[in-house]
Amino acid sequence: MLNGILIIDKDKGMTSADVVYHLRKALHIKKIGHAGTLDPDVTGVLPIAIGQATKLIELMHERPKKYIGAGLFAYATDSYDISGSKLSEKPVTKAISAKTIKQAMHKFEGEIEQVPPIYSAVKVNGKRLYEYAREGIEVERPKRKVKIYSYELLGEPIFDEEKSEEQFNFMVKCSKGTYVRSLVNDLGQKLDQPAVMVGLRRIESSGFSIEQAVKLSEIEANPERAAELIQPIDAFFADYEIHELTEQEWNRVKNGATIQVKTHAKKLALRYNKKVKAIYQKTSYGYKPDLMLLTNQ
């Protein structure tokens, strides 16, 4: 049975749930889940946990994500991308310099408060924001704290004098829960020039990159390729300190017992027979179970 993380390069037009559904059918495996929802219009890295790796999904969410995208100064929409209805419009009559855009972008770096777009899956009173939006009901959107590790301009912005608009490309590295659409919209507000996101691609997530990704269609055409391309569970713990278990320690770990290890690491990846079998965390009385992966083969 497959155990590990399959990195899918999601195509435009599919939901993350669609990808999981198609993989279940192609691989004949029920135990599959994704880490980090991508909007249908967004492409790129969608990590898919299979088998025992589904236990890692919460941990996978915690790792930073990286995107490349494009924004347009000219107008703003209710969805913060081009699929929405226009809320405001302001022609760009003079080119906005790269320096001005960069300075504004850097002001968003660090821990910030963000208001999610009205067309988003955030829940308020058990109902998703996009459901309120479709019904035309106004609702207060909850602010959330997110971390922006970097927000950078890629290349020179492109000013189109004839269309009175300016396009810019960017790269963002951010924490879970960040809406990149909001970053584009908020950048426009900061520059007093309405802006909208016109494209987005995730290039890193959960510690995996687009170079490791495969198209869903390739797996559907050749399901046996999944076994070749899947990232082992152990790859996710590459930056953890490894402790090789003795036979005696392994017998204790199998029963969820604490073990004594001479190290100062807060968390340890415990390995037996060349496979990570558990993640243990430090306590005042030794190391105790944090995550069990006993059937990782």
Residues marked as catalytic:
39
DSSP characters for 186-239?
A: HHHHHTTS-EEEEEEEEEEETTEEGGG-B-HHHHHH-TTHHHHHPBPHHHHTTT
The CA angle 244-58-35, to the nearest 5 degrees, is 110
256-267: b or e for each residue (b if 16 or more CB lie within 10 Å)?
Answer: eeebebeeeeee
Taking every pair of C-alpha atoms in the chain, what is the biggest distance, in angstroms? Answer: 75
Which amino acid type is present at position 180?
A: V
Tell me the CA distances in angstroms from 120 to 126, 172, 255, one per residue in order.
Answer: 13, 19, 43
Angstrom distance (rounded) from CA 205 to CA 110? 19
Identify the three-state secondary structure at position 273.
coil
Task: With beta carbons less than 8 A apart as the criterion, state whether 76 and 177 touch.
Answer: no
Comparing CA positions, the residue from 106, 97, 80 lying closest to residue 185 is: 80
Identify the three-state secondary structure at position 175.
coil
Angstrom distance (rounded) from CA 42 to CA 184? 15
